[in-house]
Amino acid sequence: MTGKEIIVPTSSGDVEGLFEDSQFVFKGVPYAAPPVGNLRWLPPQPVKPWEGIRPAKEFGPIAPQNRTLLGESLAYLAVDEPHSEDCLYLNIWTPGIDDARRPVMVWIHGGAFIIGSGSQKMFRGNTLVKNSDVVLVTINYRLGCLGFMNLNELTGGKIPASGCEGLLDQIAAIEWVRRNIRNFGGDPENVTVFGESAGAMSIGCLMGMPAASGKFEKAILESGAANTVGSLEESVTASKKFIEILNLEPGDIEGLRSADVGQLLAAQENLGYMMLLKDGRITPFQPVVDGSVLPEIPLEAIRKGSAAGIRTLAGTNLEEFKLFNMMTPNFQRTDEAGLVRKVQGWVPSQHVAGVIEAYRKGRQERGESATAAEILTSIQTDLMFRIPVLNLVDAQTKNGQPAYNYMFTWKSPILHGVLGSCHALEIGFVFGNYDESFCGAGPDAAALSGAMQDAWASFARTGNPSCASTGPWKPYGTDRNTMILDKECRSGEALYEKERSIWDTFDMVFTKPI
């Protein structure tokens, strides 16, 4: 049946997809109106219904974005697709157009809120759908200045952008899924959102947003949680600087709305460079705690019970920050003074020495390298990724909802292994489309991919990731149970406890993005 066309009705009109590689595929399906012209910076609007049959055989344009050094360095992570402001499209892979009511998994891509798409190489040719009998949906959403810039304050509400438009896009896509996915063989009452990095951080935000309440039943967060947001004050400062770079005034509504996308991206890149020099971060925009759309820091809302009904699976990779530090000149030459200086910028001054010492002792006791560079990488990994994830699963546990934790420890073979178990390495294993140079290959890699697919699909189906491939998963609970995902999957308790426990001495519910 390969190449056979199939027509399916949606709430906006009929779409025509193809049967490819043992699954039905529908590409570039619009879930909201193009956010262009006067709709720029507004919440997503309904799709205008069409007459006849709309082809869904090619991926739609992705959100406007600049190229990054990371993509230049690792082809597997590169995003090189046509982009346009008209970008609010989703893609569907399904084993059957029938009434099977399969679990639905909606993927929210990562990329530091400035890059990425729902049609990147690692999602194409996936084996998750045919191996697991689930319906997969991947989405685009607005990024950077178009999706996460607050303009409401500076324009006196004339452009009411909250800085959460990218999140509202995600909600609109999920709503489209709930309305239409039954026609694609899925169960609209069994929707799991899953994502990585900024995608997982987005999910953390959705778990704390009133507008997302009741939209999904389960959440899988890979290397991201509910704390990476911007304050209203900081976001207004960034927006003001962005407008200055454009040589516009905050009151120039027409100038803002008519600015060319290329100008916007150039201004965003300029602002990002300024922030890199000032704060050592590359992301100028992120979801904004505006007090309305996102009323408070998501982790705080979750602790109060906003996501009490959502079953949660969340975890991290052992050495996340090795991916980013690879691009930092002379990073391996970091000395003790440089280590202290860096940590002073992230944690309260009275805790700097204690944090560094906890990581030094933890690594030494395990017989691991305890150079300043290795300690710094471990602290960065935990600050940005692991501790926020553990805070999230702990909050869900305390709210009476079983929550599961994993640690991915498989190491990348690329560059003679210097990347270790780095950020984004697990994605290819989940989708079964892993790159040999970056992820590895062979029977062990295939077995790990199969185990992760089985666990992710089991969670999507039942809310429990236990499966024959990994064995039983215990909820995180008070024992801090964690499933270690590697050549041999196994359960552990209170992993890296010396390092983890030092973060209990102070509370960090807010973390700036990288």
Report how far residue 486's alpha carbon sits from residue 409's, in angstroms, rounded to the nearest whole number. 6
* Amino acid at site 5: E
What kind and span of H or E run contains 90? strand 89-94
Report the phi/psi class of residue 2: left, alpha or beta, with left for phi > 0 and alpha for psi in -120 to 50. Answer: beta
What kind and span of H or E run contains 130? helix 128-132
| Measured CA distances, 474 to 195, 479, 483 (Å) | 22, 10, 8
CA torsion through residues 273, 279, 283, 289, sign: negative
Map tokens 């700097």 to a residue. 352
DSSP class of residue 146? H
Q: Is residue 371 classed as helix, strand or coil in its secondary structure?
A: coil
CA torsion through residues 330, 334, 335, 339, sign: positive
Catalytic residues: 197, 320, 423
Q: 6 Cβ partners below 8 Å, 6+ apart?
A: 16, 17, 18, 19, 24, 97
Report how far residue 484's alpha carbon sits from residue 243's, in angstroms, rounded to the nearest whole number. 46
Report the phi/psi class of residue 432: left, alpha or beta, with left for phi > 0 and alpha for psi in -120 to 50. Answer: left
Report how far residue 65's alpha carbon sits from residue 46's, in angstroms, rounded to the nearest whole number. 24
- Indicate the burial class of 510 (C-beta count within 10 angstroms; 0-12, 13-18, 19 or more): middle
CB 79 within 8 Å of CB 71: yes
* 490-493 and 481-485 beta bridge pairing: antiparallel
Report how far residue 514's alpha carbon sits from residue 511's, in angstroms, rounded to the nearest whole number. 9
Nearest CA to 144 among 127, 163, 160, 168? 163
* 89-94 and 23-30 beta bridge pairing: antiparallel
Return the ∠ at Cα 143 (arms to 28 and 107), rounded to 5°.
50
Return the ∠ at Cα 409 (arms to 403 and 410), rounded to 5°.
130
Report how far residue 386's alpha carbon sits from residue 358's, in angstroms, rounded to the nearest whole number. 16
Report how far residue 190's alpha carbon sits from residue 365's, in angstroms, rounded to the nearest whole number. 45
* Amino acid at site 237: T
CB 422 within 8 Å of CB 323: yes
Q: 84 Cβ partners below 8 Å, 6+ apart?
A: 61, 62, 64, 261
